[in-house]
Amino acid sequence: MQTPKCYPTDLTETQWQHIASLLPRPKKRGRPPVDRRWVIHALLYLLRSGCSWRMLPREFPHWRTVYGYFQHWTRSGLWDTLWEYLRAWARLQAGHRCAPTAGIVDSQSIKTADQGGERGYDAGKHIVGRKRHLLVDTLGLILEVVVTSAAVQDRDGARGVLGALRQNWSRLTRVWADGGYTGELVHWVWHLRSQRRVRLEIVKRNELRSGFHVLPKRWIVERTFGWLLKFRRLRSDYERLTSHSRAMIQLAMINIVLRRIH
């Protein structure tokens, strides 16, 4: 089998070995299995270039095959497994513990294409599309992500993010948010403290100061949104299912951390 053309998005041998053992093994029966590394390379090419599934270069497996693997791995929770492993690795490399004690929550409204699926109107940003609700640690690494209609308010989306916390984040005690999360969410988190001892702190803008000013802790999650927008596939939401949108965000973060491995 010929080696496909090398693209800038392809993983190096060291990067591939970091995740190869976590991928499901090919089935012994049925058709000859496709090289899983080719599938990952095709997904990274699509994510970075922003092309459609049908426009994947011929060096990769057929686009239907790649999409089939993407669907199967999304349903099986593979992206969660890969991201949890790489996030823990990145935190250890930075001198932190695997489980964070603090996080920052925020949302990003993004336009959708004409593929259909869940969408809504964000009256504040005047955008028809979807919202990405992110909870990140102090390094900017995503702890949890929920994709909803853009009509969903930030406070409701934050409930979904904080409510989806797994036992791995039992050490999380403090979450920072901007002024848009004041109100019922503060009381909801207060009741959540009986189970997880999470404290929500609102970082407000100083209205007496004019011009641009960096808000404490808030810049971290804004930087994460900037990381995601470097992937053309994520500049708009092209996925019919919100679960696929979430998977694409996880795949982008997987790629970001893998690029730090030499």
Q: What would the pLDDT profile of 25-46 be if each residue is shown by its tens digit?
A: 877 776 778 899 999 999 999 9
Domain boundaries defined on the chain: 13-76, 98-237
Q: Which two tokens stand for residue 57?
A: 């270069």
The dihedral built from the CA positions of residue 164, 161, 94 and 82, taken in this order, carries a sign that is positive
CA atoms within 13 A on the CB side of 18: 23
Q: What mean pLDDT, rounded, does the chain reach?
A: 87
Does residue 255 register a pLDDT over 60?
A: yes
Kindly give the interhelix angle for 63-76 and 242-258, rounded to the nearest 10 degrees: 90
Q: Residue 2 has what pLDDT?
A: 45
Q: Is the full-model pTM beyond 0.85?
A: yes
Does residue 55 register a pLDDT over 90?
A: yes
Q: Which amino acid is at 239?
A: E
**Residue 214 confidence class, pLDDT cut points 50, 70, 90:** low
CA distances 36 to 5, 23, 173, Å, are 16, 8, 39
Q: Residue 219 has what pLDDT?
A: 87
* Among the ranges given (55-64, 140-149, 207-216), the one the predictor scored with the smallest mean pLDDT: 207-216
Q: Does domain 98-237 have CATH number 3.30.420?
A: yes
**Percent of the chain with pLDDT strictly greater than 70:** 87
**What digits encode the pLDDT tens for the residues 99-152?**
898 899 999 999 998 888 899 999 989 999 999 999 999 999 999 999 999 999
What is the mean predicted confidence (pLDDT) over 87-91? 95
The dihedral built from the CA positions of residue 227, 229, 232 and 238, taken in this order, carries a sign that is positive
Q: Looking at beta carbons, which pairs linking 26-32 to residues 24 or more positions away fall under 8 Å? A: none
What is the mean predicted confidence (pLDDT) over 84-96? 95
**What digits encode the pLDDT tens for the residues 144-200?**
999 999 999 988 888 888 877 655 566 788 888 887 787 777 767 766 655 556 788
